[in-house]
Amino acid sequence: MATTRIPAVEGWFTLDDAPSLLGTRCKSCGAYFFPKETFACRNPRCGASELEETPLSRRGKLWSFTDNRYPPPKPYVAPDPFEPYAVAAVELEREKMVVLGQVVRGVGCADLHAGMEMELVLDTLYRDGENDVVTWKWRPAQAAEGRAQ
Amino acid sequence: MRHGSDQEIAVLGVGMHPWGKWGRNFVEYGVHAARAALADAGLAWTDVQFVAGGDTMRNGYPGYVAGASIAQALGWNGAQVASTYGACATGAQAIDVARARILAGLCDVALVVGADTTPKGFFAPAGGERKTDPDWLRFHLLGATNPIYFGLYARRRMEMFGATLEDFARVKVKNSRHGLANPNARYRKLYTLEEVMASQVVSDPLRLLDICATSDGGAAVVLTSMEFARKRAAQPVRVAAVSTVTPVYPNTVIEMPNFATDSAVGVAVPDVPFRDSIARRAYEQAGIGPEDVSFAEVYDLSTALELDWYENIGFAKPGDAEKILRDGTTALGGKQPVNPSGGLGCFGEAIPAQAISQLCELTWQLRGQAGARQIAGAKVGVAVNQGLFGHGSAILATI
Ligand SMILES: [Zn+2]
For residue range B41-84, list pLDDT tens digits in order.
999 999 999 999 999 988 899 999 999 999 999 999 999 999 99
Assign 3-state DSSP to chain B and report helix, strand, coil percentages, each to 5: 40, 20, 40
Tell me the Cα Rg of chain B.
Answer: 20
Assign 3-state DSSP to chain A and report helix, strand, coil percentages, each to 5: 0, 45, 55
CA distances (Å), origin B233, targets A10, B227, B304, B311? 62, 10, 40, 35
Answer yes or no: is A42 within a domain. no
Q: In chain B, where does the domain assigned CATH 3.40.47.10 lie?
A: 4-121+217-230, 134-211+238-398
Q: If pLDDT is split at 50, 70 and 90, which confidence band does B123 have?
A: confident
CA distances (Å), origin B11, targets A24, A112, B1, B14, B261? 48, 49, 22, 7, 38
Q: At what angle do helices B303-312 and B165-179 cross, to 10 degrees?
A: 90
Q: What is the pLDDT of residue B126?
A: 76
Helix (H) or strand (E) holding B307: helix B303-312
- List, as ranges, residues 113-142 from B with C-beta within 8 Å of A: 121-122, 124-125, 129, 131, 134, 136-137, 139-142
pLDDT digits 0-9 by tens, A45-54: 998 999 999 9
Helix (H) or strand (E) holding B110: strand B109-116
Answer yes or no: is A76 within a domain. yes
Contact criterion met (CB < 8 Å) for A31 and B254: no
Cβ neighbours for B274, distance < 8 A, ≥ 6 positions apart: B245, B247, B248, B251, B253, B255, B390, B392
Q: Does B62 touch chain A (CB under 8 A)?
A: no
A42 contacts in chain B (CB < 8 Å): 249, 262
Q: What is the pLDDT of residue A148?
A: 40
B148 contacts in chain A (CB < 8 Å): 66, 68, 87
Q: If pLDDT is split at 50, 70 and 90, which confidence band does B2 have?
A: low
pTM as predicted: 0.95
A66 contacts in chain B (CB < 8 Å): 147-148, 151-152, 154-155, 203-206
Across chain B, mean pLDDT equals: 96
Architecture of domain B134-211+238-398: 3-Layer(aba) Sandwich (3.40)
Cα A135 to ligand 1 centre (Å): 28
Contact criterion met (CB < 8 Å) for B160 and A63: no
Asked if the model's pLDDT at residue B88 lies above 50, the reply is yes
Q: What is the pLDDT of residue A1?
A: 62
Helix (H) or strand (E) holding B18: strand B9-20
Asked if the model's pLDDT at residue B288 lies above 50, the reply is yes
Q: Could you tell me if B355 and B395 are in contact, meaning their C-beta atoms sit under 8 angstroms apart?
A: yes
Answer yes or no: is A105 within a domain. yes
Q: What is the DSSP string of B253-289?
A: S--TT-SB----TTSPPPSS-HHHHHHHHHHHHHT--
Q: Does A6 touch chain B (CB under 8 A)?
A: no
Cα A49 to ligand 1 centre (Å): 8
Count of positions (residues) in chain B: 399
Q: What is the pLDDT of residue B398?
A: 98
CATH no. of B4-121+217-230? 3.40.47.10
Answer yes or no: is A134 within a domain. yes
More confident call, B348 vs A2 = B348
Contact criterion met (CB < 8 Å) for A97 and B159: no
Mean pLDDT of A116-120: 98
User: Is the bond preceding residue A44 a cis peptide, omega within 30 degrees?
Assistant: no
- Write phi, then psi, for B75 (nearest 5 degrees): 105, 115
Count of positions (residues) in chain A: 149
CA distances (Å), origin B88, targets A149, B85, B147, B194, B215? 47, 9, 15, 30, 13
Answer yes or no: is A26 within a domain. no
Cα A32 to ligand 1 centre (Å): 9
- List, as ranges, residues 343-382 from B with C-beta within 8 Å of A: none
Dihedral of the alpha carbons of B300, B304, B309, B311, in degrees to the nearest 10: 170
A114 contacts in chain B (CB < 8 Å): 155-156, 159-160
Mean pLDDT of A27-43: 96
Q: Could you tell me if A86 and A65 are in contact, meaning their C-beta atoms sit under 8 angstroms apart?
A: yes
- Report which DSSP code applies to B216: E
Q: Does B390 touch chain A (CB under 8 A)?
A: no
No. of helices (H) and no. of strands (E), chain A: 0, 9
Q: If pLDDT is split at 50, 70 and 90, which confidence band does B333 have?
A: very high
Q: If pLDDT is split at 50, 70 and 90, which confidence band does A145 have?
A: low
User: Is the bond preceding residue A81 a cis peptide, omega within 30 degrees?
Assistant: yes
Contact criterion met (CB < 8 Å) for A70 and B202: yes
Asked if the model's pLDDT at residue B5 lies above 90, the reply is no
Contact criterion met (CB < 8 Å) for A76 and B143: yes
Query: SS3 for B124?
Result: coil
Q: What is the pLDDT of residue B135?
A: 87
- Report which DSSP code applies to B338: B
Interface test with A, best of B137, B142, B210, B211 (most A CBs within 10 A): B142
Contact criterion met (CB < 8 Å) for B263 and A33: yes
Asked if the model's pLDDT at residue B3 lies above 70, the reply is no
Contact criterion met (CB < 8 Å) for B261 and A98: yes
Sign of the alpha-carbon dihedral angle for A51, A57, A58, A60: negative
Answer yes or no: is A45 within a domain. no
pLDDT digits 0-9 by tens, B342-383: 999 999 999 999 999 999 999 999 999 999 999 999 999 999
Does ipTM exceed 0.85?
yes
pLDDT digits 0-9 by tens, B260-286: 999 999 999 999 999 999 999 999 999
How many structural domains is chain A composed of?
1
Asked if the model's pLDDT at residue A146 lies above 80, the reply is no
Q: How far apart are CA A119 and CA A18, in angstroms?
A: 10
Q: Does A89 touch chain B (CB under 8 A)?
A: yes
Phi-psi region of B149 (alpha: psi -120 to 50; beta: other; left: phi over 0): alpha
Q: At what angle do helices B146-161 and B303-312 cross, to 10 degrees?
A: 60
Instruction: Note down the domain range covering A77.
Output: 57-148
pLDDT digits 0-9 by tens, B159-171: 999 999 999 999 9
Q: Is residue A66 packed enough to be buried (19+ CB in 10 Å), middle (13-18) or exposed (0-12)?
A: buried
Answer yes or no: is A48 within a domain. no
Q: Does A146 touch chain B (CB under 8 A)?
A: no
Q: What is the pLDDT of residue A147?
A: 45
Answer yes or no: is A9 within a domain. no
Task: Tell me the residue type at A113.
Answer: H
Q: What is the pLDDT of residue B120?
A: 77
Give the residue from B151, B129, B279, B277 showing the smallest Cα distance to A84.
B151
